[in-house]
Amino acid sequence: MVSAFQSVLTAEQIKTKAQELGVDLVGIADGSVLENNPPPEFPKKPSDITEHDGGKVIVLAKRYTSGTTRITRWDERHKYYNDELTLTMLEEASLHLVYWLEDEGYPGIIIPPTHVDPW
């Protein structure tokens, strides 16, 4: 992107937009810090995912419904259904946030949890 087409955005504006989209928790990390200090137990770096756009990493979180924590069986389909609804909402919010960032002149990419799973 050409910087002439970029709006000036603050971390607070990005966090506010994410919360407007229904996200419960937003964090913005410095990509260079993550690049130079990957977690020892799972040494993934932003450059392992993309050579571009790793300057900032936006992390979003959505709380699960507390009712699902009362279901102790790991294979209970109702538990998975409720959790999947939460993940779907988080994915939709991520997509809308990336569209908004791109409208402001900042390209983005969504990295779903399945792409960073240690298995």
DSSP string of 65-86, one letter each residue: PGGGGG---TT-HHHHHHHHHH
Residues 50-107 pLDDT 10s:
777 678 899 999 998 888 888 888 788 888 888 889 999 999 999 999 999 999 999 8
Contact call for residues 25 and 60 (beta carbons, < 8 A): yes
Does residue 26 surpass a pLDDT of 60?
A: yes
Helix extents (H) in the chain: 11-20, 31-36, 46-49, 77-103
Domain ranges in the chain are: 3-108
Q: What mean pLDDT do residues 104-118 have? A: 76
